[in-house]
Structure formats: structure tokens, C-alpha cells
Chains A and B, each alone.
Chain A
Amino acid sequence: MDIQEQSQERNEAFLNRVRNGEMAALVELYSSSQKTIRALVTRNSGSADEAEDILQDSLVIFWQRVRADHFEARAHPGTFLYAIARNLWFRQLSRKKRERALNAADFQKEDTSIPLLDEISKKEDAELVQQALTRLSDQCRSLLTAFYWEELTMEEIAVRFKFANAQTAKSKKYQCKKLLKEILTKQRVLP
């Protein structure tokens, strides 16, 4: 086996560890990427703390993308993580700029607060959904996150949760979602 194949095999083995939910793999990637991502952020108007946040957020996205099978071993995991971090950081910078611009505009135009209120409202709703999730069973919570976060198909969910088939998985997901909606309805988040 040549070096290239060895490298690809190593990448694949690493990704499999992530797919299997091995958090230690993520920690390894954290350690090996910390320096470059910190450099990315600090060289572009960011602080060390912001760099750390970006690194962690990027790792979470990386985790999700790999587990959702949206990443193949064609690129180096570190490179992929870097692309995510870069995207996140520049998006954050852009948001900061917009906020600054909005603050300046506030003095001139009063009705700009409506989109902000919408955003705040959505954020609050998302927080309520998170609270509601804590009231679900572990299995329901895992099933819904497998569907919405990992974006697994019903077939994949059936395998992971050892359901008889995709139809059963679908039915279980429906029940869990219904339960969540009921909780949220009581909290008046959902109509």
C-alpha cells in the first residue's frame, strides 16, 4: 500500500470513528486544528476567545456533516474543518457589521426593529423547543435528533434503533414528534 492509500485509509478510519460517535476523534481534530483556526480568526479581526468558539462550533458542524454522511473522505478532515471555520467566522464578521450598520440606522429610521423582533422571537421559540425536548424520553429525543440533526433516513434510523423496518421507524418518529408538539402547544409555541 502506498503512502497515498495509507493516508486515505487513515482519513476513512478517522471518519468512521466520528460516524460511530467517538468523541475522542473530535478531540483529536480539535487539537490538531487549534493553531490554524486560531490564526484564521485572530488574523481577521477576531480574539483568541472568539477563535476558540469558532473552533468548537466548527467541530460541532463537522460532527454533524460527517454523521449525516455529507462528507466523503476525499478531503482531509482538517481541511474540511478549516473551510467550515472560515465560513462561520466570516459570516459572524458580516453579522457584526450588519448589526453595527443597523445600530447606526436606528437613529435615522425607527421601523427597522421589526425584523429584529422576528429574529428574537424565533430564537426564543428554538429555546422553547429545546426545553420541550428535555421532557421527552431519551429514545424519542435521540430519534428526533437522528432525523433532524443527523438527517438519517428512516431506513438508517430503523437500523440504528433496531426497529423492524423503516415503517416502524416512521411511526415512532411520528409519535415522538406529536408528543413534542403537544408539549410545545401547551407552551403556546406552536399554533
Chain B
Amino acid sequence: MTNEKHWTDDEEVLEDYVLSRIEDSVRARLDAHLKSCAQCRERVESEAGLAAGIRQFEASRIKGQLQALTNGRRRSVPLPHILSMAAAIVLIVGIGFYNRWFMNAVPQPAPLEIAEQQKEVSSTPKDTPPTRDDDKSVKKHEEVNGLGESTSTSKSRSNSQPSTAPEGFLADEKESLTAAVGSEPYELTGFLLRKEVHISGESESISGAAEKSARQEDIVVHQNQAALKDSEVRKTGNLVILRGEEKADRVAEPDGQVRCSIERVDSLFYLTIFMTQGNSLGDPRLVRARLAGPDSLVLVLDKAQLGLRLPSEFRGQIVPAE
């Protein structure tokens, strides 16, 4: 070792490097130095080992406490709460397990016409994201799996298909759904769809379970993005994507518009629809969603179909089957 200056001499930089607190551009520079500096690599390894050991220590401690507190509850399953009246629907569409999610959007073709997608969707995902049922205002909580499936339909399982995963997820995760849309089957890699029905005993207005919707600031409002060709299907007008600042008093659909919000949280894509029970479009609890193309979804209610073209930031997540 000479008097040469090494970045690993700086304890803070070393810690930041190991804890991933530095910018990518800086990291690239540091990495370049590591390639030619064996001593520096050793220091990094040493610091990383220290951090790993400390983390494991604390994780074990927390896990031990948790095990002590949950001992005897290993097989307990909370019973669903009992219900009453108004409903909110959350469709949670997990489209995240795809590399392009974290990259710049690739230009996508225009959505397929909705009229071609009148057929039923044939399969469902294998697992269902969780819901919390400790919400006291929620009297009933139903969870339904799958595309093209309602509370009253039977469930079918899709075959697992490999997907490409974003950072933090494994490339060989098997979680996908093949949705038959019109004559063209489309596969939505890593697709999950959850429908939650939240029932409140005192109010007929619907919101709730919107998770992040009130925060979303940058959603583009799309109206009439997908036309409905089937004359028998009532053309209900617009599917309006709510902007972040819009509140629950805009939730109802007096003008025939259905409000929804789209957002991305971690690897999930959330589509939340706000409807009132007893509305003119159909029972919100029976809403179904199906894939209409690489960048389009169709929401199917018993009296209406609504097309939704995904905002650009969400496009490219849906890939047609090979």
C-alpha cells in the first residue's frame, strides 16, 4: 500500500456505500476504483460483513419477540367481519413483475378496440394479495380473485408462467395470468387482480380502500379513451381518473361518469373504482376487469363496460403472449 488516497479510507463514504446511500453515478466511480484496489475491496467486504451481522442480530431479536408473542396463534385465522350496506371496490392489478416497470416507458401501440373484447376472460391468478379486516367501519370484506370473475362465479386457476422481475424480485417468479380477450390471447405477466368489497353500515357513498389515491399528484386525466361499439352495452360515458386532490365528494357518479384512480405502489398497480351502491351501472361488487390490449383494460359491469387506457407511465407493463 502506498500513500495513494482511497475512498474506502473515508469511513462515512464506506458506510454510505454499504448502506446504498450514495447516488448511482458516484457508486459507479467508486466501483471502478474497487476493480483495481484489492485492499479497498477487502474493506468493503469487511464493512458489509459488519452491517450484515448487525442487521441479522436485530432481525433475530425482533423475530424472537414476535415468536414469543404469537406462540399459540400459529393456526388462528381471523374470521371475516359481518357486513351491511355501501361498497367500495378496489381492483388491485399487479403488473409489477416486469422489468420495464422500472425503466423508461417503451412506446406502445394504441389500445385495441374494446368491441373485440366481449368474451369472457378465462382464468385467474393463483394467489391473492392480503386485506386487512381490522377496519371497524368495514362490516364486510369480500375478496375475490381474478380477471373476469365475480363474487358469484366459480374460480379457475391459470397456469403459472415465468415472468421477468424488476429489481428486488426474482426473474423466475411464477405468477401470471393468461387472459383470453377476443380472439387474441394476451398474457399479463405477473398479473394479480384483487377485488375488495368494503361495506359500511351507515353510508352509501363509496370510497375507502383507495390506499394511495388521495396522494397521487401526477395522474393524467383520461376521458373516453376507449369507445364502446356494442350497441347493447350501455355507453356510460367516461371513466375519469381522479386527480390526487379530488375528494370523496366527487366519488359518486351522478353524471354517468365513474371515477377511478390509478397508482403504482411498489410492484403493484392499483386501480380503484369509486361507485355508489344502487347506481345505474350495476352492482359494483360484481365488477370485472379484463385485459383489452397492451395498454388497455376493460371494466365490465352488468349494465356497462368501461374502457380504460392506461396512462403512459403504466404502459408497457402488459405484454401479449408469444
Query: Does B55 contact A79, Cβ atoms closer than 8 Å?
Result: no
A14 CB to nearest B CB, Å = 9
| Chain B residues in 8 Å Cβ range of A64 | 58-59, 62
Stretch at the interface among B1-9, B133-141, B228-236, B283-291: B133-141
Q: How far is the CB of B226 from chain A (nearest CB, A)?
A: 26
Stretch at the interface among B26-34, B68-76, B178-186, B311-319: B68-76
Would you call the interface of chain A mostly helix, strand, loop, or mixed?
Answer: helix
Is B119's beta carbon under 8 Å from chain A?
no
* Closest A residue by C-beta to B172: A94
* Range, interface on chain B: 35 or more
A5 touches B53 (CB 8 A): no
- The answer to whether A190 and B133 have CB atoms under 8 Å apart is no
Residues of A within 8 A of B51 (CB): 148
Q: Which of B54, B126, B173 is in CB contact (< 8 Å) with A144?
A: B54
Task: List residues 139-163 of chain A with CB under 8 A from any CB of chain B.
Answer: 141, 144-145, 147-149, 151
- In the complex, the answer to whether B208 meets A3 with C-beta atoms within 8 Å is yes
Interface assignment of B303: CB less than 8 Å from any CB of chain A: no
Is A179 close to B, CB under 8 A? no
Indicate if B107 sits at the interface (CB-CB under 8 A): no
Please tell me if B106 contacts chain A, counting CB pairs below 8 Å. no
Q: Cβ of A129 and Cβ of B66 under 8 Å apart?
A: no
Known A-B contacts A56-B67, A125-B49; A82 and B205 likewise in contact (beta carbons under 8 Å): no
Interface size class of A (residues with CB under 8 A): 35 or more
Residue-wise, chain B 68-96 has the 8 Å CB interface mask toward A (1 for contact) of 01100110111000000000100010000
Q: Which A residues lie at the B interface, using CB under 8 A?
A: 2-8, 10, 23-24, 26-37, 39-40, 43-44, 52, 56-57, 59-61, 63-64, 74-83, 86-87, 90-91, 94, 97, 122, 125-130, 132-133, 141, 144-145, 147-149, 151, 174, 177, 180-181, 184, 189-191
Identify the B interface with A (CB < 8 A).
11, 15, 19, 21, 42, 46, 49-60, 62-63, 65-67, 69-70, 73-74, 76-78, 88, 92, 126-135, 137, 168-170, 172-175, 198, 200, 203, 205-215, 247-249, 263, 265-268
